[in-house]
Structure 1
Amino acid sequence: MSTANAYLTVRGIDVDVIYKDIKNLHIGVYPPMGRVRVAAPRRLDDDQVRLAVIQRLPWITRQRQQLRAADRQSEREMVVGESHYVWGVRRRLKVVERPGRAHIEIDGDRLILYVPASRSAAQRRKILDGWYREQLRQVIPDLIAKWESKLDVRVPAWNIRRMRTKWGTCNRETRRITFNIELAKKHPDCLEYMAVHEIMHYFERGHGERFTKLMDDAMSDWRSRRDALNAAPLANEAWSNKR
């Protein structure tokens, strides 16, 4: 069955729409980030779908809140054998307790944490957090430079933050792009998609037809990258409201 896709924003909520040869409209809210997807009959247009979503907003909001409040795996204790992801690759943690400066290295399929024995689990998580930030800092400049050239734009500022429900944001006034630190755990293609997505907001505020066209022209496989980004929750994280 052939499908046509639309990408809408309704009251600040991103909505994926798939038009199909079906009789009734169906709305779903999916983990891990509460993405809203609509399967709509072809006889409906974007405005009719938008109205249907608005009418179901109380239910959609409740579903998204339940997803965000759902229990995830226990907070990582930063001990030997735990799984941690780096650029989409699952690695087992090895902890080497020794005096001196704490740092992290990759050795084969292992993520090795060198740390004084006195450091607590919270302190070890902070070390890992800083290491993830550094991974992003190393690759984002070249990535942005690549797309500045391709799109003939300039990204004046960017930063990295821990965000609970968004992979990235764009402030159209300052043109600052913010990346979620969690992107260091995803495949590099996902980070590139997120960079292009946010840069596109320089040209188009919402996620309507024009935004979709811009994304299609710039990155033909953006939908598959987006789906890969949202496909599997990193459930071993203890998400907090701290930005």
Structure 2
Amino acid sequence: MPTVQIGDLLVEVVRKNIRSLRLTVYAPDGRIRVAVPTRTSDQAIQDFVAARRTWISKHQEKFKLQKPAVESLYVTGETHYYQGIGYTLQLHTFDGTPHVVCQEPQTLNLYIREGSTQQQREKVLLAWYRRQLKAQLPEMVAQWQKVVGVQVNEWGVKQMKTRWGTCNIRAKRIWLNLELIKRPSSCLEYVVVHELVHLHERLHNARFWGLMDRFMPAWRTHREQLKRTLLETPIELDAC
């Protein structure tokens, strides 16, 4: 990937078929990437990054202070999050179809075959997460479509590295990040509304945020809550 030196910053530059410039700072090392429309001039890229120097430094320093993420082994005793609450993982040897049972107080029972690998246990838990999120979304999307005054043709769930959600305006399709099932429900609602509002306004401009104020007056609180639970997730400027 091409890189450019802008002041004391080394920046990866990706030219894509997009409308606006997009800046991302990645954990844990503070790597910087800027995605730009194909014909953007080098000077415009330099000006864009330079104008956001303080924002970049803030998040690079934040990452330096974070403890390195501990790799999950999917073994008994680990904490895994569901709807913003930490649950203790409890493994059970089981001859049938591997599955997960959520049990109070705050326990995720993972039934898995003897001799299972870390990857197999992870796959079972992720499949459970996906089912939970897909079960919650129909009612939530339907509710907020009425409030926002739009109708999507399709919604889906997938794992994304740098986005909480995306919206294909032409296809009227939204995607939600699987990681949202680990966050409080208010964070999920915020991202749903954010992507629905993009069907009114493509850009993150004054009109977009004005519509967010109208449809979800408390969106700032929900966004801050989402930011507080980012963990090792990359930070993107102007992302939802």
**Scaled by the length of structure 2, what TM-score is found?**
0.72
Which residue of structure 2 aligns with residue 132 of structure 1? 129
Which residue of structure 1 aligns with residue 89 of structure 2? 93
Q: Is the 8 A contact 1:10 1:53 kept in 2?
A: no
Q: 1:175, CA displacement in angstroms?
A: 1.4
Aligned residues: 197
Residues 30 and 122 (structure 1), Cα distance of their counterparts in 2 relative to 1, 3 Å cut:
closer
Are 1:182 and 2:179 an aligned pair? Answer: yes
Query: In structure 2, which of residues 22, 29, 54 is the aligned counterpart of residue 12 of structure 1?
Result: 22
**Scaled by the length of structure 1, what TM-score is found?**
0.72
Q: Equivalences for 1:37-48 in 2 at 5 Å? A: none
Q: Is the 8 A contact 2:101 2:108 kept in 1?
A: yes
Which residue of structure 2 aligns with residue 26 of structure 1? none
Are 1:112 and 2:109 an aligned pair? Answer: yes
2:175 is matched by which residue type in structure 1? T
Runs of 5+ consecutive residues of structure 1 not aligned to the other structure? 1-8, 15-28, 35-50, 238-243
Are 1:150 and 2:160 an aligned pair? Answer: no
Percent identity of equivalent pairs:
35
Q: Distance in 1 between matches of 2:26 and 2:206?
A: 23
Which residue of structure 1 aligns with residue 72 of structure 2? 76
1:55 is matched by which residue type in structure 2? A
Q: 1:189, CA displacement in angstroms?
A: 0.5
Residues 170 and 71 (structure 1), Cα distance of their counterparts in 2 relative to 1, 3 Å cut:
farther
Query: In structure 2, which of residues 227, 230, 234 is the aligned counterpart of residue 233 of structure 1?
Result: 230
Higher relative contact order (CA 8 A, sep 6+): 1
Q: Is the 8 A contact 1:10 1:54 kept in 2?
A: no
Q: Distance in 1 between matches of 2:53 and 2:218?
A: 33
Which residue of structure 2 aligns with residue 199 of structure 1? 196
Q: Is the 8 A contact 1:156 1:176 kept in 2?
A: yes
Q: Is the 8 A contact 1:97 1:114 kept in 2?
A: yes
Corresponding residue SS for 1:163: coil
Q: Distance in 2 between matches of 1:162 and 1:72?
A: 21
Corresponding residue SS for 2:220: helix
Query: In structure 2, which of residues 35, 39, 50 is the aligned counterpart of residue 55 of structure 1?
Result: 50
CA deviation vs aligned residue, 1:188-239 (integer Å, no higher than 9, x gap): 011000000000000111111101100000001000001101113344x9xx
2:88 is matched by which residue type in structure 1? R
CA RMSD after TM alignment = 3.2
Runs of 5+ consecutive residues of structure 2 not aligned to the other structure? 1-18, 31-45, 234-240
